[in-house]
Structure 1
Amino acid sequence: MTVRALAAEARASASFISQLERGQTSSSIGMLRRIASALGLTVADLFNEEDEVGHRVVRRDARPELHTAPGTRKFLISQRPLQNVEVYAGEFDPGSSTGDEPYTHGDSQEIFLVIRGRITLWLGPNGSAAAHVLEPGDSVEYRTSVPHRIVNESDETAEVLWTVAPPTTSS
């Protein structure tokens, strides 16, 4: 993330973020919370100087949930701070989708896997998108910069998994 992008997300000036990064100024707790949130971290993560992260177990009922479109649920599997990969589990109720418009996020490699149900994955901009009907065990790999949209046109809840590397932190 660029200094300007972080500053915009944290509602701060780019010069303040730059000075803070270089140790030339200090910050309030409120500002640290906004910076951490913009980076997908906790305030404690900002002070963690360990390069190596140990084993981390996340129970299904303790997964952080991301707010998504109605009828869909998306859970973060990989734990923050995201270092090398981000992994999400998702559920799509019958008839639900990621929205009417395809979306993009960064320019990383994404692998999408259907665990249960049947999903239609549209790749490409509206009007020229290719439809891929995916059954359990099917996967597709694409760049996150390619517009994509997911639709559950079946009559059962679908369960999916996304793996993105390197992390885009804006899914």
Structure 2
Amino acid sequence: MDDRIGPALREARVRQKRTLRGVALATGLSASLLSQVETGKSQPSVSTLYTLVSHLGLSLDELLGLDVGGRAPAASEPDVLETTIQRAADNPVLDMDNGVRWERLAVDDPRSVEPLLVTYQPGASSSADGGLMRHAGREHAYLLDGELTLRFESADHVLRAGDSVSFRSDRPHLYVNHTSAPARGVWFVVGRTGSGRPRERIAGPPAELLRLLDGARPVTSDER
């Protein structure tokens, strides 16, 4: 499923008639990094992926190429009561830079909640450069195995198996696994792409300036 990340991001950018340069200026990411992610030459970190999907207004299911109802047909067994059973082997998977894996769990309405089984390998971090990230919504997490450090602006919190946490995701934060064993937990991100509410845009130049910059030069072949 990770092969879907680059094409999905590129498709969303092209559909919105944005250039690599314009998206780079708006998100603070380099155009070369964006190009490498879109062409599959590089996997994004968690923070890079959240920055891009928030800026382009994508849900996790759209990124995974799932249908609008949030179910992968081969992975679900709905009954008359609309119960969704998703087998472990059918979890849609996103493998990201630095040893972080997301597995999308069963959900009926992905517009309101994004349920994830998350694994951080030893040394893995949600940001390649150690910078704090932020995105819309509220984050709820329960650690199943291992140990994970959650960093906010001025404090570190060590989470161990059985610990849970809840916080507003627009608060700058970072996850790091400082141990020699994988850390695995269940995450629920609520309201990141909620229906009827504006999607968060990463701070950057005003939209009118971005449109002018996007039209300031011809679009090159790798930006189409």
| TM-score interval (norm. to shorter) | 0.5 to 0.7
What secondary structure is seen at the aligned counterpart in 2 of 1:83? coil
- Paired residues of 1:78 and 1:86 also in contact (CA < 8 A): no
What secondary structure is seen at the aligned counterpart in 1 of 2:165? strand
| TM-score (structure 2 length as normaliser) | 0.50
C-alpha RMSD of the superposition: 3.1
What secondary structure is seen at the aligned counterpart in 2 of 1:142? strand
Q: Which residue number corresponds to residue 138 of structure 2?
A: 109
- Paired residues of 1:72 and 1:93 also in contact (CA < 8 A): yes
Q: Which residue number corresponds to residue 122 of structure 1?
A: 151
Structure 1 gaps, min length 5? 1-7, 14-36, 47-52
**Sequence identity percentage:** 26
Could you say which structure has the higher helix fraction?
A: 2
Could you say which structure has the higher strand fraction?
A: 1
**Cα 1:78–1:145 shift into 2, 3 Å:** farther
- Paired residues of 1:152 and 1:158 also in contact (CA < 8 A): yes
| 1-structure distance, mates of 2:115, 2:186 | 7
**Are 2:15 and 1:11 equivalent residues in the alignment?**
yes
- Paired residues of 1:111 and 1:164 also in contact (CA < 8 A): yes
- After superposition, the C-alpha distances for 1:21-49 in whole angstroms (9 at most, x for unaligned) are xxxxxxxxxxxxxxxx9453458538xxx
| 1-structure distance, mates of 2:67, 2:165 | 36
Deviation at 1:155, TM superposition (A): 1.3
Deviation at 1:81, TM superposition (A): 5.0
**Cα 1:162–1:44 shift into 2, 3 Å:** closer
| 2-structure distance, mates of 1:81, 1:56 | 11
Structure 2 gaps, min length 5? 1-11, 18-56, 70-80, 200-224
- Paired residues of 2:85 and 2:106 also in contact (CA < 8 A): no
**Cα 1:81–1:155 shift into 2, 3 Å:** same
**Are 2:86 and 1:58 equivalent residues in the alignment?**
yes
Q: Which residue number corresponds to residue 164 of structure 2?
A: 139
- Paired residues of 2:111 and 2:193 also in contact (CA < 8 A): no
What secondary structure is seen at the aligned counterpart in 1 of 2:68? helix
Identify which of 158, 162, 184 aligns with 1:159. 184
**Cα 1:70–1:138 shift into 2, 3 Å:** same
| 2-structure distance, mates of 1:44, 1:132 | 37
| 1-structure distance, mates of 2:66, 2:99 | 32
Higher mean displacement: 74-83 or 145-154: 74-83
- Paired residues of 1:68 and 1:98 also in contact (CA < 8 A): no
Q: Which residue number corresponds to residue 68 of structure 2?
A: 45
Deviation at 1:148, TM superposition (A): 1.3
Deviation at 1:90, TM superposition (A): 0.8
Q: Which residue number corresponds to residue 70 of structure 1?
A: 98
What secondary structure is seen at the aligned counterpart in 2 of 1:96? coil
- After superposition, the C-alpha distances for 1:144-167 in whole angstroms (9 at most, x for unaligned) are 101111111111111111112224
| 2-structure distance, mates of 1:154, 1:168 | 33
